[in-house]
Amino acid sequence: MFSFCTDPDTLGQANWLACYLTTGKHMGLYWSFVTVLVLLAITAPLALAFGFGGAVAARSQIAPLRWFGKGYTAIVRGVPDIAFFMFFVIALDQAFEWVRHRVLCPSWTEPVRQGNDFVVCAAAKLPLGTAPQWVHELYGFGLAIVTFAIVYGAFAANVLFGAMRAVPRGQIETAEAYGMSRRQAFWRILVPQMWIYALPGLSNLWMLLIKATPLLFLLGVEDIVYWARELGSSRQPRFTDYPHGDWRLWYFLGLLVFYLAFTKLSEFVLERLMRRLSRGQATMGAT
């Protein structure tokens, strides 16, 4: 990257490191940090929306909808989230392809599952076989986002369900006494007030989400764990200008420091937010 990197004399000098850390592959590593941040930025609101939907469904008066909501909030209690990740990535992919197969190739008579294969017609493949590489990567990333949102949405649903129940009953009763309908009382009284009760749980969830981002690696996305393993493993002088031994230890140490800084920063910001939102509330944290 730097002009002095072309000069072979820099080897063994201090700026060797500057050259080493700016190779094309290291740029991939730095971009994958952006990937993690993008994932968080998209997943967090999406999971919150899923969670809100789940919590509302769990409170519904329509029985099947309530069962669905309760079931959704219950799934995360008993089963490891990693299992969900691995399941949903394949299951969603197959579900999308199956639906497209049904719509796009109605004349196809063979079964979709043939022994140990999952066969759909070429037009239903996702992404299409002719699609460029970046579409494949984007599709994989999109599947990962939806998977994260489903799993952490269930956590969020738990939090929000609890928060809705924590709002004092008297508030709703007052709203009803003023002649508000159920819908009005929900949107104007319950929802604005529940956030303060939900915030501790949601900040916990945010931490969980941050700490779950390395699992992207298991979903087949080229994330920071992938690059740290790739770049850290030992290099022979024959294949690269920057030969080194097994440096994976140092790369992962770097990742650890990154996550520590990130969670610490989040903690600081969330605490400020908590203090801000507690203002004027009749809770212990209010000042």
Partner 1 sequence: MSCWQTIQDYGLRAIGIGERLLPREGYDLCQHFTLIGSGMIWNIYFGALALIAGFFIANAVALGKASDRLWLRKPSEWFVLVFRGSPLFIQFFLAYFIFLRLKQAGVMPWLTAAQAGALLVLILNTAAYSGEIFFGALRSVPRGEVEAADAYGFSGWRRFRRIIWPTTLRLAWPAYTNEAIFLFHATTLVFFSGFPTWKQQGDALYYARFFADKTFNPFVPYPILAFYFILLTLAVIGLFGLVNRRLNRHLPAERRAKMRIRPNLIR
Q: Which residues bind partner 1 (CB under 8 A)?
A: 76-83, 86-87, 90-91, 94, 113, 116-118, 155, 158-159, 162, 201, 204-205, 207-208, 210-215, 217-218, 225, 228-229, 246, 248-249, 252-253, 255-256, 259-260, 263-264
Q: Minimal distance in Å, beta carbon 281 to partner 1? A: 20
Query: Which residues, at least 6 apart from 53, have a Cβ–Cβ distance to it below 8 Å?
Result: 153, 157
Q: Minimal distance in Å, beta carbon 11 to partner 1? A: 25
Q: Which is nearer to partner 1, 182 or 264 (CB)?
A: 264
Q: Minimal distance in Å, beta carbon 29 to partner 1? A: 14
Q: Cβ–Cβ contacts within 10 Å for residue 87, how many?
A: 13
Question: Which residues pair with residue 244 across a beta bridge?
Answer: 235
Q: Which is nearer to partner 1, 19 or 215 (CB)?
A: 215
Provide the 3-class DSSP secondary structure of residue 230.
helix
Provide the 3-class DSSP secondary structure of residue 137.
helix
Residue 231 tokens, joined: 């770049």
* Rg, C-alpha atoms of the chain: 25
Where does residue 206 rank: exposed (0-12), middle (13-18), buried (19+ CB within 10 A)? buried
Separation CA 55–CA 16 (nearest Å): 55
Q: Which is nearer to partner 1, 19 or 155 (CB)?
A: 155
Tokens 């006494």 sit on residue? 177
Q: Which is nearer to partner 1, 57 or 228 (CB)?
A: 228
Q: Which is nearer to partner 1, 67 or 250 (CB)?
A: 250
Residue 63 tokens, joined: 């029985």
Q: Minimal distance in Å, beta carbon 119 to partner 1? A: 10
Q: Minimal distance in Å, beta carbon 84 to partner 1? A: 8
